[in-house]
Structure 1
Amino acid sequence: MAQAGRRPGQNETREAILEAAKQRFASQGYDGATVRAIAGDAGVNAALLNHFFGSKQQLFAAAMNLPINPAEIVPLILDGPPEQIGERLVRMFLSIWSNPVTRAPFLALLRSATTNDEFAATLRQFMEKAVFAKVAEAKGIPRVRVAAAAAQMMGVALLRYIVAVPPLADASDEELVTLIAPVIQHYFDG
């Protein structure tokens, strides 16, 4: 059992937690990895995970080096007029993918998910709980609609940023917002 109280060295403790989380998420998936097990692996009290990261979702985002935090992104998507959710989502998505700093970790995640079944399962569980379920519940729509909107946007990312298909890769963000936002809006309006 982990000792109560703080371990010496805040940076070392945080890194130990991140390393334990990476190992636990990799071996047991998002659902199987518990906060207590990760804390035990790191030799700390489970309360320290909340102290450093706030939640299991935020710990996963940090351990996987996600450039965005779903706990911050989901409210940005949901806040505002409902008839503009498609536009907000497309703008946010394009801003994340068009920035080389935030795009690189997503490329790594995408490549890992397409080549490693365990990682794909972990990422799927995380996306379902941290994003799809929360957005679907807040909007009162079936999860499949949120997943379909995400699939549409991932297709855009694949063709624009990875394969670099000329008409899509050369289009301005504004052109894509005008073209894609109404389709994404349809998933939310039904």
Structure 2
Amino acid sequence: MVRAKRSGRRSGKPDTRAEILAAARAMFADEGYESVSMRRIAAQAGVDPSLIHHYFGSKDDLFLAAVELPLDPAPEVAAVLRGGSVEDAGERLMRAFVAVWDGPHSDKLIAVVRTSLSRPASSFIMKQMFEHRIVKTIEEVLGGEVDNLRVRAGFIASQIFGLVVARYILKLEPIASLGVEELAETIGPTIDRYLTMPVQHLAP
């Protein structure tokens, strides 16, 4: 008996996950996180939308897989910000940040940053990750206490990404050899200033 040929979207197969990731990376890079829906990604990949939930769970999980980050920074940032006052949040953020970057995921994180520095599409996706997973988290936690958070977050990003490049990519001394507490005590107050300084004249 000859089986009827199936039509329509493909069901799961060994390369389905890779096809979904490829479609998601392209669409996130072109349009940004907020503009892309799970259904549109499924259509682009030629699969049923239920397969995205099967392989990745949520849109956030798919985004993190597309960016290739080994962990989600949002819960860590939220926990740190809720652990004390705004005035000393900088040192807490630095301790948590360095602990993650010096931890078991260090090689993967460095690889992600190197890729984002060399590929425009990857760079844009990293920007989306920072805005959606970090800036949005800061807004949710500190929104009632701090104004102009997106402006402040930009300055914080310059400090954090500058540290990543200096410490983990270029390995500049003495920054590369400083311990967690030394970095927290040195850079933390700068982040505190970004969170508390008047920025009305800088707001868009």
* TM-score bracket for the superposition, by shorter chain length: 0.7 to 0.9
Aligned position for 1:103: 106
Kindly indicate whether the alpha-carbon contact (under 8 Å) linking 1:36 and 1:46 is maintained by their aligned counterparts in 2: yes
The 1:163/1:32 distance shift into structure 2, 3 A limit, reads same
Unpaired segments of 5 or more residues in structure 1?
none
The 1:13/1:77 distance shift into structure 2, 3 A limit, reads farther
Q: What amino acid sits opposite 2:135 in the alignment?
A: F
Q: What amino acid sits opposite 1:92 in the alignment?
A: A
The 1:155/1:21 distance shift into structure 2, 3 A limit, reads same
CA displacement, residues 120-162 of structure 1 (integer Å, 9 cap, x when unaligned): 2232233212221331343123211122112112112211222
- Comparing 128-137 with 42-51, which one deviates more in the overlay? 42-51
Task: Please point out which of 149, 161, 164 is paired with 1:157.
Answer: 164
Larger Rg: 2
TM-score by length of 2: 0.74
**Matching of residues 79-118 of structure 1 within 5 Å:** 79-83=82-86, 84-99=88-103, 101-118=104-121
CA displacement, residues 4-42 of structure 1 (integer Å, 9 cap, x when unaligned): xxx456x76544433432343355544554311222234
TM-score by length of 1: 0.79
- Comparing 85-94 with 130-139, which one deviates more in the overlay? 130-139
Q: What amino acid sits opposite 2:58 in the alignment?
A: S
CA displacement, residues 72-115 of structure 1 (integer Å, 9 cap, x when unaligned): 2332233211244212210111012223x422333233223323
Kindly indicate whether the alpha-carbon contact (under 8 Å) linking 1:29 and 1:118 is maintained by their aligned counterparts in 2: no
Aligned position for 1:186: 193
Kindly indicate whether the alpha-carbon contact (under 8 Å) linking 1:90 and 1:180 is maintained by their aligned counterparts in 2: yes
The 1:63/1:136 distance shift into structure 2, 3 A limit, reads same
Unpaired segments of 5 or more residues in structure 2?
1-7, 198-204
* Runs of at least 4 residues off by over 4 Å: 11-16, 26-29
Q: Give the number of aligned pairs.
A: 185
Q: What amino acid sits opposite 2:75 in the alignment?
A: E
State the distance in 2 between where 1:64 and 1:154 align.
Answer: 16
